[in-house]
Structure 1
Amino acid sequence: MRNTFGNVFTITTFGESHGMGLGVVIDGCPAGIGISEDFIRQELQRRKPGQSKITTQRKEEDEFEILSGVFEGKSTGTPIAIVIYNTDQKSKDYSHIADKFRPSHADYTYHQKFGVRDYRGGGRSSARETAARVAAGAVAKLMLAQYGIQIHAYVSQAGHIRLEKKYTELDLGQIESNMVRCPDPVTAGQMIDLIDETRKNRDTIGGVVSCVAQGVPPALGEPVFDRLHAVLGHAMLSINAVKGFEYGSGFEGVSMKGSEHNDAFYQKDGKVKTITNFSGGIQGGISNGEDIYFRVAFKPVATIMQDQESVNTSGEKTVVSGKGRHDPCVVPRAVPIVEAMCALVLADHILLNRASKI
């Protein structure tokens, strides 16, 4: 079971939803990076449960401990270990599915692969694992800041409500101004109302998180199999509930002609730039210095507060009743997770690029 991501800047996550805790070991972080515990805490607060009426009401403060790799506020170049203890597990909420497979969860597939599964909140398959990724992503962001790279993700769609504006038309400083993390106030209000209505109807909806990385230098990405967009796709599709990834013009680009879609070059202040950016900042799998932007689609949360037909571990027909505390829509809390995975990819490729030029 692979729990490690990255090549040079690597992370290995551990822990389960209802175990004692979860955490991450970060290896390959260069020495001398300022490690702000306040910043890591801020990032974890953005992902934590119980933030508002439109998120799960599980109460986890997601306080953490740095066990190694940091001395006097700076990385030492040795593995950085971070642990986050669980404090609000309610494992009894899941005793009724100990021998049942919840529809569209990983229950059946984990059972088939390992012959055993932790049914308490999904165990290792739970989205709670992403807290470790966000902690690691915060460290990656601190490293990227030294290169002038900034990453902003936001909710661009919840259910059928879609933000039609491009990221260049938005004030990304407003992302955290509302509980749904949509930088357009009118659309945000519509999304909040829809998610809350869905919650009251004991159902769930999906959505889309859009992300932009600015200040990324050219030449990041490896030829052929580790193209930058391929690794970003790998990173995003590894997040729970993700069903799709597209960058640049994405699927809409197929309706354009080459004469419309090509990004013409020009030079400004000694730098090569493009007039348009349908390429999404990546050409030939390598960054070209323009903004990298992409979209990540999330399915409706699989746990619904309704009875559903299923089978048990013996293959007998049964009914699964929704219990516990769950998000009616995952995308508001997915925003920092998408940012974290993007940061991990870029940090890794900066170090890979640096190594290739030695």
Structure 2
Amino acid sequence: MAGNSFGQLFKITTFGESHGEAIGVIIDGCPSQLPIDLDFIQAELDKRKPGQSKITTQRKESDTVKILSGVFEGKTTGTPIAMIIPNEDQRSKDYSHNTDVFRPSHADYTYHTKYGIRDHRGGGRSSARETAARVAAGAVAKLMLKAYGIEVFAHVSSVGKIDAPNVDITNADAFIEQREQNIVRCVDPATAEEMISFIDGVRKQGDTVGGKVSCYITNCPVGLGEPVFDKLHADLGKAMLSINAVHGFEYGSGFSGAEMLGSEHNDRFIHDAEGNVKTLTNFSGGIQGGISNGMPIEFKVAFKPVATIMQNQPTINAAGEAAEIQGKGRHDPCVVPRAVPIVEAMAALVIADHFLRNKTVIL
């Protein structure tokens, strides 16, 4: 199976399955002498781990990360960083009912057809459990970016048809502190309460719902990204679309930009009080010509409803015969609250990689 690595200079490779012994990641290309805050890495994983609240899966995993290599006396050595996260609460019997039955909208059928074998216990590599390894790697990328003042932060901006209003992104720390005050991870408190009530109602009906995560990258320097195939927004899009259940990505004005006139959409250049070049608006989402322009990078990621629902559904089995399946086990009624740190991690990995690549451009 190919496609387990991501990035060019700051490169990660993840490994492990949902119901195997452990999952993990190897980071290659992280610069030396970067201070590693293990508590910070663990805190990022804690935001993604299951069993957090009544609106997340009740699988209990501590997601305790262990660094095996690449760090000495609290700093990176420049060699590959290996991190491992043991699986502690697998219940493989919860999946015994779908050994030969394909779950609707899951990867069961495509994996079985492509490889001739699949791990029916939670989906194996196709499980969202794999993203814990990405969050661990993304935390290291965040630490590197923070050293240069670059901040990456996100929140749940919609659940179903419930949309949060525009939020203040001028202070990343205050943004994150406010977001963590509620279990749905929406910065706006009133909207958060509405979202939580809606998700809980959907859960009680044995159903699921999707939503959107809005992400912001501030203090990003001008010049990250390439003008043709490795555009910064293209790499961000690939990163986000590689996350389980993601069905959409838009940056800046996104699809609404298609309804605007050029005279409305163009971002006019100005100088701020310190004489720095800025734009009066930010419909470009901080990226022009595939290259960061110094404005906040803004994008949204759309997540579909979780495919496993606690209702009977018609399907087929491996022999192509009609069958019926009902979801069992522990699953999220809405994935977006736990997706916030995953989106941040993948964004940080893209920015860290392009940050290092940009240093090779000018002598």
Name the TM-score class by shorter chain: over 0.9
CA change 1:26–1:74 in 2 (3 A) is same
Following the alignment from structure 1 to structure 2, what is the Cα–Cα distance between the partners of residues 327 and 62?
17
Aligned to 1:14: 15
TM-score, with length taken from structure 2:
0.97
Aligned to 1:291: 296
Contact in 1 for aligned 2:167/2:187 (Cα 8 Å): no
Contact residue 167 and residue 188 of structure 2 kept, 8 A: no
Secondary structure of the corresponding residue to residue 315 of structure 1: coil
In 2: Cα distance, 1:304 partner to 1:167 partner: 35
Cα drift, residue 197 of structure 1: 0.4
Does the residue aligned with 2:229 lie in a helix, a strand or coil?
helix
Deviation of residue 176 (structure 1)?
0.8
AA of the residue aligned to 2:18: S
Instruction: Identify the residue that residue 278 of structure 2 maps to in structure 1.
Output: 273
Aligned residue in 2 for 1:229: 233
| Residue 222 (structure 2) aligned to one of 207, 218, 242 | 218
Aligned residue in 1 for 2:250: 246
- Quote the RMSD (CA, aligned, Å): 1.1
**Letter paired with 1:113:** K
Say yes or no: does 1:327 pair with 2:332.
yes
Letter in 2 for 1:258: G
Tell me how far 1:167 sits from its aligned partner: 4.7
How far is 1:336 from its partner? 0.2
When residues 169 and 29 of structure 1 are mapped into structure 2, their CA distance, relative to the original with a 3 A threshold, is closer
Which residue is 2:197 aligned to? 193
**Matches of 2:199 and 2:157 in 1, distance apart?**
14
Which whole-Å deviations, capped at 9, do the CAs of 1:169-213 have from their partners, x for residues lacking one? Answer: 996241111000001111000000000000000000000000000
Choose 268-277 or 207-216, whichever is displaced more. Answer: 268-277
What does 1:1-358 correspond to in 2, within 5 Å?
1-168=2-169, 172=175, 173-268=177-272, 269-358=274-363
In the alignment, the residues of structure 1 paired with residue 275 and residue 161 of structure 2 have an alpha-carbon distance, to the nearest angstrom, of: 44
The normalised TM-score by structure 1 is: 0.98
Counterparts of 2:210 and 2:144 in 1: how far apart (Å)?
A: 32
SS at match of 1:217: coil
Unaligned ranges ≥5, structure 1 = none
Query: Match for 1:273: what amino acid?
Result: K
C-alpha separation between the residues in 2 aligned to 1:348 and 1:185? 34
What is the Cα deviation at residue 165 of structure 1? 2.2
TM-superposed CA distance for 1:256, in Å, is 1.4
- After superposition, the C-alpha distances for 1:213-262 in whole angstroms (9 at most, x for unaligned) are 00000000012100000000000000000000000000111121111111
Q: Distance in 2 between matches of 1:343 and 1:209?
A: 15
Matched letter for residue 294 of structure 2? G
Which structure 2 segments of 5+ residues have no match?
Answer: none
Distance in 2, Cα, partners of 1:119 & 1:38: 34
